[in-house]
Structure 1
Amino acid sequence: MTRRQREPRPAGRLLSVLAAVAAAAVAVAAGLALAAGDRRGVVLPIALVAGAAVGVLAITRFSGYVILMLAVRPLLDVVKLSGPTAGRADTDQASRLSDPSTMVAVLFLLAAGLWLAAQLRRNGRLRGTPLGFAMLLVGATALVSALGANRPTPSLLEAMRILTVVVMFVVLEQLMPDRAAVRRILIACYGSLALALLYTVLVSAFGQVPSEVKGQFIRVSGPFSQSTTFGRYLMFMIIFGFAIYRFLARRAQLILAVLLGLSLVFLMLTNTRSAILGAALGLIVVAVLHRSGRMLATLLVVAVAGVSLLPSVGDRFAQLAEDRPTGGGPTGNTLQWRVDYWAEIVTLANRNPVTGIGPNMTQHETSEAKKPHNDLLRAYVETGLAGLLAYLAMLVLLLHTARTALRRAPPGSLERGVAVGFAGCAVVFIAVSLGSNVISNVVTLWYFVAFAAAASAIAHGRTTSATTHGRAAIAITHGRAGTGSVTTPAPQFRYE
């Protein structure tokens, strides 16, 4: 290499100088804001520079950008400016708009839109499935409803959050053409779990357990602003993790065992009833599909140990039977309160039964100032009959995708584990959404749709159509009696 070749180009020198100037400006601005006690002034400059860097990654290598977003998304709530009251009727919308998570959502929608348009222009079409189409309908009905809401700003913000989940699924469908791509996405998902647990452990070790106080309970919230979000995130990770565990190589099993053990402990400490029950239901589904009596016995032992070692868990479930005033305290939302609240809010849809009152509007229209705690009812009230039909179609297609993936996954392969894991997650998503606001946990749904996209790839035969090293495709012909066709065994998919 000659000296001329080793010398940096003028453009490179200019970019280096600009980057140094930007870093210095951000450091000065953040330091001044920190001295003044202005948390927003500290977070925003850093977020803008980080956003610019991530934007460059999105333009130059979109698949790497998506993997990075999946890996670090839980940590964004650590610097959330709007705090744990985000989503309530009294929330400062300016704070929500300036949240790093909101800025990341906007950037993701822009980057994904441009990338999808480029893919469509280059290939002439996009890879699509009925489940993806149903999700697009859910996002479209949310957007239409938001445009007619009495308070467009919070409603459009909620519609945008729902759209990020829909677009994430559509993007991941394009990014999972084979088993190697599925593997990368799953590693990113469990990389996020490792970071979330590491943050929780480290902060707790310094005596500042990340938690929130609700009523008489101290509930661990991890890197999230609310314990319910942390609980549901752990719920999906635990169900899917137990499903794929047996198909991993030894080293990967050891790592995942540590992550799942910590996840079970922190799930109990979140004291989130829906997440704990959901995890139990999902693990039962996984155990039945895997025909594992050992897993069922382990689940029983963990449940007994959890209640024995953590009495607050039993106390939390005992609240369901308590006789409390309607609405109760912060953690006193008993079953009776939910039934009464559902009867109150269902009439709100009478104002506009076709498109509803707008996403996130229920809490602005009731004296309780709370969300519906039932996603089916919420779909009807906030997005009308159109939104309810789209949501029901999505639920049906979630189960259909899981069933098809189970039928097509080769026995003894990781594809089988993915199919079983998503089946457990899909059943739990539907069950928990009947008594909770699951659709509001956008960060949790990113990982749910990642698992859904992986199962969709299996259901449509993409993970068995190519080798992990990019060599010639392995043709698989499903033979029938009397046709003379030959069936080629699908290679197993394992982490090595």
Structure 2
Amino acid sequence: MLTNQHSSRSLALAILLGLATVGAAIIAGFLVGSSAKLVGLAIVAVGIVFYFFTKFEQAVLVLLILRSSLDVFSDLQIPAVFAIGLDVLTLLYVIVSLLTGHIVRTDRFWWFLAGWVLLQGLWLILLPLGALGLDASYLPASIREWVRLFSWVMVYLLVMQLKDRLPPQKVISSLFLALLLPIAIGLLQIFQASDRIVGTFGTANTFATFLLLFISLVFWKLNGTQQRWFWLMLLGLLCFFFVSTKTLFSLMMIAVFVLVLITPRLNVAKLISGMLLLGLIIALFASTEFGQQRLASITQTPLLNPDIDISKAILLSQGDSNSFNWRLSQWYLLLNAWKQSPIFGYGLGLSIPVAGNGLLPHNDYIRALVEGGIIGLVSFLALFAAQFTHLLLLIQQTPYGSKQRNLCFILLAMLTSIPVGMITENIWSHTTLFFYWWTLLAVAGWNWNEQQIREDMTFK
């Protein structure tokens, strides 16, 4: 009975793929007279779809690994094309699964995330209606931002389809391959004596948060592994590149991460290890001339200088190169603009035109306030509150000392550091960080015990 059902599903899938191929061939026939490039793209698209459906697990892992290498091609819009392509493949897979009677796997948090992104579509409706601070001419920019958020929902959904097909630890271990090209390019930049290492990313800041996420995964791997030297060496390598990004906000993020990590099981050994790691990172950062200048610049801000108030810092920002004083000026500018449209703001992804200087706010809370108003800021905070709640529930539901519980706690420490970094950085725009974040959050919610039982039964 099961064999016949499986055969019928396979036949239905083969028919759908065949129809898709025939349809693509017909379209290619119409396009051949107009553009050879379009024909080539159609052929590549058919090949990708065929590979995706015939080698699904492998194809998903390849897509996950590939994402970290694409930001270097941002000028060619490759990351955007990749995101749209992944969205299409995921939706196509869901449709085929429903038509063939397969289960489409989700969890409660995915439904919350999907609902949250759907809610953000409200601002796409309000903008052309004239209910926001800008007019409908900015709608394309808002649509691009919404599609970016929607792609995160699709990543989560796609990874959920690997549940019961691949061991969760294998999926996470595969993600470390995403480090290869960024690290290789980073080494090349070091040999070229670049001021700040960016890897395959557009800025050092995005590379720093990407590295911090994988530093957290190395900590997870170090728990109960017999290959401690390998993971300790990788940790040292990632910390070296982390410092080479020369980003000041990242020091605060890793400090919070380590603090949260060691607090629940605080003992002398963990305290010393955590302090040594932080001390080493800060010492490496301060050992460079650029790092010394960044640290010294803090003394010329209201944070450490009582003779400088916020008003004076804003005035100083017009003549000095102090990035923190500049941030105060940018925040002051945007908050004054927000007062003109306080409830619903100006629209998704429109903080740059609101600022008028071509720059993001460098504070994600102000960005949420300006783009979405008070309603948008509340929904932004609700998203992070939901993630905290989700991880805490998973920690309570998983066995003490299990790898799943340890992963959830590592992710909780990472999640705690992200809002801290958002105070002075545009982390919400770090698309690659969240691409892998939602991947890990999806895997963390799997039932690892059931997965282990299935693996044991398979080997028996």
Superposition TM-score tier, normalisation by shorter sequence: 0.7 to 0.9
Deviations 1:82-108 (A, max 9, x none): 2xxxxxxxxxxxxxxx41111101101
Aligned counterpart, 1:85: none
Q: Distance in 2 between matches of 1:326 and 1:278?
A: 27
Q: Distance in 2 between matches of 1:329 and 1:191?
A: 44
Aligned counterpart, 1:165: 152
Residue 239, structure 1, aligned to residue 226, structure 2: no
Aligned counterpart, 2:206: 229
Give the superposition deviation at 1:396.
Answer: 0.8
- Gap regions ≥5 residues in structure 2: 1-20, 22-27, 29-34, 128-135, 302-312
- Helix, strand or coil at the partner of 1:159: helix
Q: Distance in 1 between matches of 2:340 and 2:349?
A: 15
Distance 1:232 1:52, change over 3 A: farther
Q: Distance in 2 between matches of 1:356 and 1:386?
A: 8
Choose from 106, 118, 138 the match for 1:151. Answer: 138
Aligned counterpart, 2:273: 295
Aligned counterpart, 1:76: 70
Q: Equivalences for 1:206-355 in 2 at 5 Å?
A: 207-208=191-192, 211=194, 218-250=195-227, 253-291=228-266, 292-322=270-300, 325=315, 332-334=322-324, 336-349=325-338, 353=342, 355=344
Q: Percent identity?
A: 19
Aligned counterpart, 1:467: 452
- Helix, strand or coil at the partner of 1:464: helix
Conservation of the 8 A alpha-carbon contact between 2:184 and 2:199: no
Q: Distance in 2 between matches of 1:411 and 1:347?
A: 49
Distance 1:208 1:311, change over 3 A: closer
Give the letter aligned to residue 127 of structure 1. T
Choose from 184, 187, 190 the match for 2:176. Answer: 190
Aligned counterpart, 2:50: 56
Conservation of the 8 A alpha-carbon contact between 1:349 and 1:381: yes
Aligned counterpart, 2:18: none
Conservation of the 8 A alpha-carbon contact between 1:287 and 1:295: no
Residue 430, structure 1, aligned to residue 415, structure 2: no
TM-score (norm 2): 0.77
Conservation of the 8 A alpha-carbon contact between 2:251 and 2:282: no
- Helix, strand or coil at the partner of 2:254: helix
Q: Distance in 2 between matches of 1:70 and 1:268?
A: 25
Residue 402, structure 1, aligned to residue 391, structure 2: yes
Q: Distance in 2 between matches of 1:52 and 1:229?
A: 33
Distance 1:347 1:133, change over 3 A: farther
Q: Distance in 2 between matches of 1:327 and 1:50?
A: 51
Give the letter aligned to residue 103 of structure 1. V
For this pair of structures, how many residues does the alignment match? Answer: 404
- Helix, strand or coil at the partner of 1:186: helix
Deviations 1:372-404 (A, max 9, x none): 222223223213444333322211111112222
Q: Distance in 1 between matches of 2:72 and 2:42?
A: 16
- Helix, strand or coil at the partner of 2:121: helix
Conservation of the 8 A alpha-carbon contact between 2:104 and 2:161: no
Give the letter aligned to residue 173 of structure 1. M
Q: Distance in 1 between matches of 2:414 and 2:173?
A: 18
Distance 1:103 1:330, change over 3 A: farther
Choose from 59, 66, 90 the match for 1:65. Answer: 59
Give the letter aligned to residue 333 of structure 1. S
Distance 1:396 1:259, change over 3 A: same
- Gap regions ≥5 residues in structure 1: 1-14, 16-21, 23-28, 30-40, 83-97, 212-217, 474-496
Distance 1:441 1:331, change over 3 A: farther
Deviations 1:382-431 (A, max 9, x none): 13444333322211111112222322333333223212210111101222
Deviations 1:146-169 (A, max 9, x none): 452541222221221122122212
Give the superposition deviation at 1:296.
Answer: 1.6
Give the superposition deviation at 1:299.
Answer: 1.7
Q: Distance in 1 between matches of 2:106 and 2:449?
A: 17
Give the superposition deviation at 1:228.
Answer: 0.9
Distance 1:383 1:232, change over 3 A: same
Distance 1:151 1:123, change over 3 A: same
Give the letter aligned to residue 317 of structure 1. L
Aligned counterpart, 1:416: 405
- Helix, strand or coil at the partner of 2:425: coil
Choose from 81, 87, 97 the match for 1:109. Answer: 87
Q: Equivalences for 1:370-385 in 2 at 5 Å?
A: 370-385=359-374
Conservation of the 8 A alpha-carbon contact between 1:112 and 1:171: yes
CA RMSD in angstroms, aligned pairs only: 3.5
Distance 1:422 1:340, change over 3 A: same
Conservation of the 8 A alpha-carbon contact between 1:120 and 1:126: no
Residue 100, structure 1, aligned to residue 78, structure 2: yes
Residue 366, structure 1, aligned to residue 348, structure 2: no
Conservation of the 8 A alpha-carbon contact between 1:47 and 1:100: no
Conservation of the 8 A alpha-carbon contact between 1:137 and 1:390: no
Give the superposition deviation at 1:229.
Answer: 0.8
Distance 1:451 1:352, change over 3 A: same
Distance 1:181 1:430, change over 3 A: farther
